[in-house]
Amino acid sequence: MQELTLKYGCNPNQKPARIFMENGELPVKVLSGRPGYINFLDALNGWQLVRELDAATGLPAATSFKHVSPAGAAVGMPLNDVLREIYFVPDKQKLTPLASAYARARGADRMSSFGDFIALSRPCDRSTARLISREVSDGVIAPGYDDDALELLLKKKNGAYNVIEIDPAYKPDPLERKQVFGITFEQGRNELTFDDALFQNIPTKNKELPESAKRNLIVSLITLKYTQSNSVCYVLDGQAIGIGAGQQSRIHCTRLAGQKADNWYLRQHPQVRALPFLDSLGRPERDNAIDVYISDDCEDMLGVWQDFFTEKPPVFNRAARKEWLRGLTGVALGSDAFFPFGDNIERAHCSGVQYISQPGGSIRDDNVIEVCDQYGIVMAFSGIRLFHH
C-alpha cells in the first residue's frame, strides 16, 4: 500500500489528509482504528525514539508521546514497590521488561500523558497490553503484537483504538522533506548515534562518570533528539522524569523540566501516597488532584476536600516539599543546545542533577563550568546539537 487516508489533518477542518510514499510501499499497517495526522506524527517520531533507545542500551524501550514531543520515555528497568504504587500498577501484575518500560514512560508525567500515543521498541506482549488497556490513550505503534496482546487492544474503545504495526526493517531515504506555506524544505536526516564517546570531553573538576550515569545521559539525549526544541531532559534509572519541550528560552526549558522532575519525586512522598481518595475517583482525577496537592495551590484545594477525599488531609506545605526534595539525587540531565548562563545549572542542582551532557560552545562556558564545580557536578561537552522541529 502506497497511500493511507487519514481521519483528518491537524484539525477536523483540514481535509483531505493522507500519508503516502513517493516510492515503494508504506512501512506501516493499521490493525485497528482510524489514525489522524497528529497520531501518525507522534507514532513515527515515537518509534524512532524507542528504536534508538533499544539499540543504544540493549533494553526494551517505550515512550508516551503528546503533540509531537515525548511526555515520557524509558527503558525496561524493574519497578520498586513505590513506583508500582504511584504508577497505578496492580501489586500482583507481573511485568515484563517492555511493560516496565511503558509503566515508567507513562508514569513520568501522568498529567501530560493523558491521551498519549505509545511507541514500543519490541513486539507488544500481553503484560504491556494490560497496562495500555487501562489508560486513556489514542493509540500504539510497535513492530508486532502477540496474539493475546492484540486481542486485548482490539477491545479498547470498542474496537476504535488505533493500533499500528511498523516494519522494523524499514529504512527511510537519507534526505527528508516537508512543506511550509507551499515551499519545500529539504535536509539530511539526523542520523547521529549515541555511545560513550560523547562523554570524553569533561571540563569540570569532577570527572567521575559511572556507567549508570552514561546510560541515563544517553536516554536523555535520544529523548531530546525527538523533542520539540528548545528542550531539556532529566533522567534517573533509565527513565525520563522531567522533559521541558518547545520553550524559546533555555532557562525556561530547565525550569519546566525540573518542576516535572520534582513533581515525579513528590508523588513518592508518604503523605501523598496516603491521600484518602474517594473510591469513585478514577486514575485521571487522582492524577489531577495529586498535581494540585503537591503545588502551592494545596490549601485552595483543601477548601473543597470533600470532592476528592474521604477526610481532609493535612496541608503539604512548601517546607515539607523542600525537605523531601533533598532526597532526589543522582539525576542526569541533557540539553539539546548549549547553556548560555550558569542559572541553568543552579536550577538543575535544585532537582538533584549530578551529571550533565550539553554541546558546549557558549561564550560563557567558563561560567557554566564554574557553577558545576561549585556543586561537584560532572559535565561533559558532547559537541552535538539536537534541535528538532
Picking from 384, 386, 324, the residue whose alpha carbon sits closest to that of residue 359 is 384
Residue 154 carries which DSSP code?
Answer: T
Q: Active site includes 206?
A: no
Q: Which of 39, 45, 66, 344 is catalytic?
A: 66
Judge whether 98 and 124 are in contact, CB under 8 Å.
yes
Helix, strand or coil, per DSSP, at residue 182:
coil
Q: C-alpha 342: how far from its chain's center?
A: 25
Catalytic annotation present for 349: no
Catalytic residue selected from 39, 45, 216, 230: 230
Q: Is 201 helix (H, G, I), strand (E, B) or coil?
A: coil
Q: What does the alpha-carbon distance between residue 122 and residue 165 come to, in Å, rounded to a whole number? A: 11
Q: Which of 92, 94, 171, 389 is catalytic?
A: 389
Exposed / middle / buried, residue 203 (Cβ in 10 Å: 0-12, 13-18, 19+): middle
Tell me which amino acid residue 195 is: D
- CA–CA separation, 337 and 339 (whole Å): 7
Active site residue 67: yes
- Can you point out the beta strands (E) in 290-371? 331-335, 353-358
Residues 67, 190, 206, 288: which is the catalytic one?
A: 67
Nearest to 377 by CA among 210, 208, 238, 196: 208
> Is 158 annotated as catalytic?
no
What are the catalytic residues? 66-67, 230, 389
